[in-house]
Amino acid sequence: MNYLEEYKKWCESPEFDENTKKELLAIKDNEEEIEDRFYQELEFGTAGLRGVIGAGTNRMNQYTVGKATQGLANYIIEQGTQNKGVVISYDSRKMSKEFSKQTALILCANGIKAYLFENLRPVPELSFTVRELGCTAGVMITASHNPPKYNGYKVYWEDGAQIVSPRDKEIIGKVREVENFSEIKQISEKEAVEKGLLHMIGTEMDDKYLNVLKNSVLNPDIMREQGKKLKVVYTPLHGTGNTVTERLLKELGLENVYVVPEQKEPNGEFPTVDYPNPEDKKAFKLALALAKKVEADVVLATDPDADRLGIFAKDSKTGEYMTYTGNMSALLIAEYRISQMKEKGLLPQNGMLITTIVSSDLAKAIAKYYHLACPEVLTGFKNIGAVMKKAEENKDKTYVFGYEESYGCLIGDYARDKDGIAAVMALCEAACYYQSQNKTLWDAMHDIYEKYGYYKEEQVSIVREGVQGAQEIKDMMTKMRNTDIEKIGNYQVLTFKDVQEDKVKNRKTGEITKTGLPQSNVLYYELEDNAWCCIRPSGTEPKIKLYMGVKGDTEEEAKEKLEGLKKAMMQIVEK
């Protein structure tokens, strides 16, 4: 069926409600819009759904969410784990509450227990709750840091991590088997409650989650003492973060926490930001204005589902607020926590620091210094979760820290996804500790560079939207995959990894080996002089992502190297 036939079906079939038909009839003369809405089904990818909210097969709506949930329900029943139940949470986005309730009731209609948060909660608390309640799965309604027009549907499994291979493919298969929306089972809320299938989760889970975080603080006395002086500005960017963050920091002894008032309340329109992403410096505009007003030491922002954290820290020498990349903030936390664990005799001999293929090589340097294993996985925290699960089953490694460059880390094994709430807490603890030594977080960051070398990284996105854009991204990857690149900028290519083809080519010897990584559309270039580049299409947005990193003896040298490498990489990809 082509997109026009599918459009006609949605406009005429009794399967679809009148509001959906009205929305679609309003675009009857816009063939480009019709094509974009119907040229494909919104793909249930390896973590679930993500797309623009609206009517159509290529949109987030009650029908695509229903189909995904029915497929998930069929899979759970096939596994025989329906009595263990599924936890559902949601963020502040448009339709999040409606989609979460719909998800819960479809599961209940299939005889599966559903534990639904009574109000919005962060991703890390969902991950924790799946483990805490011993559920078979979890669903988070969120589009993370995407623009306001998006929403999404993330699926977690019993370990609290997002689904990975082969389970992701098995669930995707079950979703695709749901051919008609009439196959989606229905039940009323009243009936679901009466049958003992629908259970609401309140603040009691907040208490359990926050107690685990508080117990992970390494220097509680220093935090209470310095918390009287440290000034922190925090913004949840209209998302879930402040459901627990302000309470957590105050209970740990921070007396000067300023939440940006204009961004404190959840709001799916995200009225004060173009893009609710702590990776975007523009998202900090109001927070930085408040920081200057109250003379804050640290400025923190979490994204709508509170798994990512962005920070600015004051440089006492200049009085300026300095931005941190995701690599910098996570590895500042890592160095602080690991050094303190070692000092207190808490660092396990079989410990591991898990990183990703596109994250800073500084992680490897820190791991080597503290004699930790440093597994390197593909992009996506679910892959870090998979290593944690394997280590837990084999009892051969102990998780110490894990992170990815996209502003996310996890400080303990209580959950299996990145935790922006815990990261806020850990950075505030680090700030208190360094303040007790008359240092700022910016001083601490420079101490790390002096200790290990000046590692600098950057990520660049090339956006290509729509049907044509999707083809352009595909063509870029094909061209790069089939081009034997000898040199990128000033750097010779030492090895070329094609993760999709499971192939590593040593360009000096010509030797071909395997990557040892799961199949993924990723190309990686190891360069001379401790430099590297990586390219992959985004799994959630219409863009191709370029990652790169260098190491210099000084900050100036590292910046210069990085700028040259970025220009060279952009020229190769776009020409």
Phi first, then psi, for residue 55 (nearest 5°) are -80, 140
Residue 359: partners with Cβ closer than 8 Å, 6 or more residues away: 327, 403, 404, 405, 457
Residue 275: partners with Cβ closer than 8 Å, 6 or more residues away: 145, 147, 282, 283
144 is catalytic: yes
Count, in order, helices (H) and strands (E) of the chain: 19, 23
Alpha helix locations (H) across 1-61?
A: 3-12, 18-25, 31-38
Q: What Å distances lie between residue 116 and 86, 132, 310, 386, 495, CA to CA?
A: 8, 14, 29, 25, 48
Question: Which amino acid would we find at residue 310?
Answer: G
Q: What Å distances lie between residue 519 and 164, 369, 375, 522, CA to CA?
A: 12, 31, 17, 9
* Kind and range of the H or E run holding 88: strand 86-90
Q: Which residues pair with 487 in a beta bridge?
A: 492
Alpha helix locations (H) across 455-512?
A: 466-482
> Could you give the angle at the alpha carbon of 149 between the alpha carbons of 145 and 153, nearest 5°?
60
User: Buried (b) or exposed (e) across 451-464, using 16+ Cβ within 10 A?
Assistant: ebbbbbbbbeebeb
Contact 185, 73 (CB under 8 A): yes
* Count of Cβ atoms closer than 10 Å to residue 368 Cβ: 12
Query: Residue 340: exposed, middle, or buried by beta-carbon count in 10 A (0-12, 13-18, 19+)?
Result: middle
Q: What is the phi-psi region of residue 391: left when phi exceeds 0, alpha when psi lies from -120 to 50, beta otherwise?
A: alpha
Alpha helix locations (H) across 13-140?
A: 18-25, 31-38, 62-79, 96-109, 123-133
Question: Which amino acid would we find at residue 236?
Answer: P
Tell me the C-alpha distance between 136 and 359, whole Å. Answer: 31
**Catalytic residue, candidates 144, 329, 406, 520:** 144
Tell me the C-alpha distance between 198 and 519, whole Å. Answer: 38
Contact 331, 367 (CB under 8 A): no
Which of helix, strand or coil describes residue 461?
Answer: strand
Distance of CA 105 to the CA centre of its chain: 27
Active-site residue numbers?
A: 144
